[in-house]
Amino acid sequence: MRGGYARHMAEESQAPNPSSDRMPRWVWKASLVFWLGFLATILFRYAYSRLSSLLVIGLVSLFLSLAIEPGVGVLARRGWRRGRATMLILLGLLLGVVIFIAAIGTLVATQVADLAQNSDRYVNRTVEFLNDNFGADIDAQKVNDSIQDPDGRVQKFIKGQQGAALKLSVTALGLLLQGFSIMLFTFYMVADGPKLRRAICSRLKPDRQARVLSTWELAIEKTGGYLYSRALLAGVSALVHWVAFQSLGTAAPVALAIWVGLISQFIPVIGTYIAGVLPVLITFIDSPVKALVVILVIIAYQQLENFLVAPKITARTMEIHPAISFGSAIAGGALLGPVGAVLGLPVAAMAVALVGAAGERHELIDNPLVEMAEKKPRRSHDLSPGARRRFRRGRGV
């Protein structure tokens, strides 16, 4: 019996199975999902390549609307219509940008024209300074001859830049159109802000409405506060540098001071050094000694701002750690170019604010790793018991 049963099973196992030649059903489903995902990826990349400029405009408009919302809210509470208040602030911002670009453009054009007309005098002065102070043996006449040589590198470079005027004009026109689009989007986002928030919240449950509105309010408060603090720091920096440049007799001290103030505050970590290149170069053309003084002034003010001015201004708004601000600028620049590098700061400010507001806080334990150097009172009994408790709770925060 056992032998017959074994032969029967062996015959059944060797018999052909028609269903084994069929492809499993999950293969067809997996292939369909794969090809649909592949087509969706291609469509997404195509749409992103076509709409990337619109995405950048939307992001800039969003954060600009968050920045001016507090100012519009103040004017609205005083009886202004939101449309008029938004238009007033946007026009003031536009006027400031136009004045800044005009001042810097006029300064650069004037200095380039003066350098081209008086190149011999500037070369002689620079060569004399290098020979007297650094022991160099440079022939000023040879340098001037190489600059004026039609076949030299300098003249070839100047001729090569003449063809870039048309490209620069087209680029300027494109930037002007993008700026107009940003202003238009920002106007409607702020002027119709309550209507937009009502439309969004009407689709949500009451608990989610409260969460969305609180997040929205926090984003407006922190992002706007951070940008306003940067603008205030830029104003203080511009004022100090204007006094220094005016005292040194630097060309166009107002334009250079505004340049240093804005660039140093809105480009993290290395913004001060980038902003200092232009005034140092312009001053170096006139006097290398004055250029050295300008470098010392910029470095001295940077230290003064870090330890005295910035902590007082950002105490009531928000201060981002330099590593976070620098990393956000690099990440934004890698994603969206120069615009992304500038947007990285408000994005980081809003993200830090939202993360800081979420979660539960606990009292810190006593540990040297979390202690911060603070000036303690000479005698503990000089403080009241409540003040001593607040002091102990504030350590390391």
Domains in the chain: boundaries: 61-157+174-357
The better pLDDT of the pair 98, 329 is held by 98
pLDDT surpassing 80 at residue 247: yes
pLDDT surpassing 70 at residue 7: no
Average pLDDT over residues 298-312: 81
pLDDT in tens, 326-364: 777 788 877 777 777 777 777 777 777 777 766 677 777
The better pLDDT of the pair 38, 155 is held by 38
Q: Which amino acid is at 137?
A: D
Which residues 6+ apart lie within 8 Å of 140 measured at CB? 123, 124, 127, 128
> Which of 38-42, 202-206, 232-236, 335-339 comes out lowest in average pLDDT?
335-339
> Which of 78-92, 219-233, 294-308 comes out lowest in average pLDDT?
219-233
pLDDT at 84: 92
pLDDT at 86: 92
pLDDT at 382: 47
pLDDT at 346: 73
Residue 87: pLDDT band by 50, 70, 90 thresholds?
A: very high
Q: Work out the end-to-end distance of the chain between its first and last CA atoms, rounded to an integer number of angstroms.
A: 86
pLDDT at 302: 85
> Which of 20-24, 63-67, 247-251, 380-384 comes out lowest in average pLDDT?
380-384
Q: Rounded to whole angstroms, how far apart are CA atoms 229 and 4?
A: 94
Cβ burial, residue 224 (10 Å; 0-12/13-18/19+): buried
pLDDT surpassing 60 at residue 391: no
The listed range with the strongest mean pLDDT (27-36, 119-128, 337-346) is 27-36
Is residue 224 within 8 Å of 70, Cβ to Cβ?
yes
pLDDT surpassing 70 at residue 268: no
> Which of 88-102, 120-134, 363-377 comes out lowest in average pLDDT?
363-377
